[in-house]
Structure 1
Amino acid sequence: MYSLILRRLNSTAALPAVSKRQLISPMAVPALKSVAPLPFKSPEAKRLRKRLLDRPGLIGVKRGMTQFYSRNGDRVPATVLEIDQVEVVYNKTVDKNGYYAVQVGYGHKLKNQTKAMLGHYRNAKVSPKETLFEFEVKDENGLVPVGSQLKADHFKPGQFVDVISKTKGKGFSGVMKRWNFSGLPATHGTSLAHRSAGSTGMNTTPARVLPGKKMAGHLGDEWNTIFNLEVLDVNAEKGYILVKGCVSGSNGSYVQIRDALKKYGSHILQDK
């Protein structure tokens, strides 16, 4: 032990520019400025983990399905989405709201508007809208000036879009229709329970039905996203967009149209 102490003293004495007092003093160690890590569930951390787009999308109304003929003569099914008076109403920022988003309104509706919403539209200098949706964007470069009108030529033929809409409500449904259960056996003692779910609980432990169990209940009337639909035709003057394939929801329902997130979106951390 004594030899180890002498060895350390000799090694410190061999340093010409540093004294023993500086080596012993805690103040001699240079302080490094560190940044507190973001909590995993904080709004900023959630925003950085998201895959976002560079620009907002449009609001449309599903008007039905038709057929579209390509230049090769192929006939494909298409959905007609109407675009009418889509204007930017408000911009959300990180400093004020915690994220970047563009609030977009559709159509014109003066009846049954509250005073608060009328003031909101007056500040944006736009007409009262039928409905409002917001599109989250990656950074402040994706914000659009308030009052700007977005037309159908916001998208180009040939590109891919995602369409978000509410599915048709089908009321209370059983497990066979709602979750594709096979049902109970048709014979061998099954009595008046052919389409039931069967046993849903467990034994003494935990002696309860766990949350999330697939059971009978309300089917439909929920938001659904159909990814990577091809834009077939765009007409800004008449105000419509033709997309290939079907779109969820009934005719006359509102839809959100955005650039295909899986093709054109990216994570904020990857860009940095």
Structure 2
Amino acid sequence: MRRCSCLASNWSALPTSRNHQIARAETSLLYQASSVLLQKATYKKTNKTWFSRTYKPKFGHWMVEKPDSASVDFGLTESNTAYLNEKSLVLPNSPLINQPMPRRGWKENGKRTVRSGVIGIKIGVVPQWTVTGKRILCTMLQVLDNHVINYVPPGDFARSAIFQPKFKNKGYGYCVVGAISASPLEFSEEYNQLFTKSGVLPKRKLTKFVVTEDAAIAPGTPLSAQHFRVGDYMDIQARTVEMGFQGVCTRWGMKGGRASHGVTKAHRRMGSMGGGGDKGGVWRGKKMPGHMGSAWTYHRSLQIVRINTKYNVIYLKGPNLPGPPRAYVRMMDSLLRPHLLARDANPPPMPTFYPEDAIPDSPENIYHESLFTYDDDFVSYENVDKDKLFLYSKPYILYGGCQDGRNHSYRRGI
């Protein structure tokens, strides 16, 4: 641990100016320190006894139990641990190691341009109102700490293992995008080496987006919610909610058996699953009980009605996005033909939104023209009795004491 103890002194010897050489030196030092710590880490012994009454393993005895960060002893002092945590928070603000790629125009090669997407986190569903007073439900997705980790050109992509025949002769490469930075001490040395090219901290989530050559983005470039525009349409991909093992009534919506009159232990069964004869037996694809949920699915043609530029939150029209709250969502431009033609007429930022594209004194919230913005007064009262105004402004009104003497008290919502 001699190298780790002198890490603070080596770091303080660097110049104070923050250019791309300093950022690369800080990143390499942090990765070097984390690799040495991982190699020399000693795991604390636990008093758990396998297959005893007090402790039973979650998996079989043949599987190696992965220790958590709390049970790993790196041999660091409190000052070294505090210094590493401090530098971990500073590194994401470092500039690009390499110069940005030259910006190219939309459909510069004469072919359809495919931009990179971003990784969003599903926050929840909130209502919004249009200028006509219609209530619509919108799903909030936050683009949190997104960076481009790597770009693979079309030549290298064609020789990779993930290349598919449908990408042949179309000039497609791919960008690796990561979200949510974390400390290098939480990952292995091999995983940390994936981020040396971009000069950013390791990410908790990585994904690939197929892009054309004119939409390539340099590694280390940050991505924000302004990668898209209000009014654009996007396609999202995410995993559905995990439901576990379910029967046919829940999984496929079958009716099941009768509730009574001769039915015994077959109220929610599927019934016959195959007949006899030459075509007898259970056919392939028969709907039966099994695992439900946690499957990748697409939702296409979702309109962006609002963008919060301060917190990078995108409001999508529709409450039925797949996945539970805090789930990862892949967000990309819509591939439906009407939206492709609309982007040709009004191209989006290429290849992404850069700080120099920002409009001075732009508002924090950007609304669609059909949404009500709450900026101006929308209700005015003239010559109205204050008592009646207070009465009719309550959420519920209690009616009772009719003229005929009968008491017809009930609650009515406004």
Q: Answer whether TM exceeds 0.5 for this pair.
A: yes
- Aligned amino acid, residue 182 of structure 2: K
Q: Check if 1:74 corresponds to 2:148.
A: no
Query: Cα 1:210–1:114, aligned 2, differ >3 Å: closer, same or farther?
Result: farther
Q: Check if 1:96 corresponds to 2:164.
A: no
How many Å separate the matches in 2 of 1:258 and 1:53?
13
Query: Per-residue CA shift, 1:79-100, capped at 9, x if unaligned?
Result: 1111121111112333223252
1:130 partner SS:
strand
Q: Check if 1:250 corresponds to 2:343.
A: no
How many Å separate the matches in 2 of 1:72 and 1:188?
54
TM alignment of 1:166-185, pairs within 5 A: 166-185=239-258
Q: Which residue of 1 aligns with 2:311?
A: 238
Q: Check if 1:122 corresponds to 2:163.
A: no
Q: Which residue of 2 aligns with 1:58?
A: 118
How many Å separate the matches in 2 of 1:213 and 1:225?
23
Q: 8 Å contact 2:257–2:268 — kept in the other structure? A: yes
Indicate the larger mover: 145-154 or 201-210: 201-210
Query: Cα 1:202–1:102, aligned 2, differ >3 Å: closer, same or farther?
Result: farther
How many Å separate the matches in 2 of 1:85 and 1:54?
22
How many Å separate the matches in 1 of 2:113 and 2:301?
14
How many Å separate the matches in 2 of 1:142 and 1:211?
43
- Aligned amino acid, residue 243 of structure 2: K
Q: CA deviation at 1:77?
A: 1.1
How many Å separate the matches in 1 of 2:132 and 2:216?
39
Q: CA deviation at 1:153?
A: 0.4
Q: Which residue of 2 aligns with 1:107?
A: 180
How many Å separate the matches in 2 of 1:90 and 1:237?
26
Q: Which residue of 2 aligns with 1:203?
A: 276
Q: 8 Å contact 1:166–1:221 — kept in the other structure? A: yes
Aligned residues: 214
Equivalent of residue 145 in structure 2, options 66, 85, 101:
85
Indicate the larger mover: 202-211 or 98-107: 202-211
How many Å separate the matches in 2 of 1:183 and 1:255?
35
- Aligned amino acid, residue 258 of structure 1: M
- Aligned amino acid, residue 276 of structure 2: N
Query: Cα 1:91–1:208, aligned 2, differ >3 Å: closer, same or farther?
Result: farther
Task: State the TM-score, normalizing by the size of structure 1.
Answer: 0.71
Greater RCO (Cα-Cα under 8 Å, separation 6 or more): 1
How many Å separate the matches in 1 of 2:153 and 2:263?
60
Q: Check if 1:218 corresponds to 2:291.
A: yes
Task: State the TM-score, normalizing by the size of structure 2.
Answer: 0.48
Query: Per-residue CA shift, 1:191-241, capped at 9, x if unaligned?
Result: 221211122234354664333221001111111221111101112332111
Q: 8 Å contact 2:150–2:197 — kept in the other structure? A: no
2:190 partner SS:
helix
Structure 2 gap ranges (5+): 1-111, 159-171, 342-414
Q: 8 Å contact 2:113–2:214 — kept in the other structure? A: no
Q: CA deviation at 1:142?
A: 2.6
1:183 partner SS:
coil
How many Å separate the matches in 2 of 1:224 and 1:70?
29
Q: 8 Å contact 1:53–1:261 — kept in the other structure? A: no
CA RMSD of aligned residues (A): 2.2
1:248 partner SS:
coil
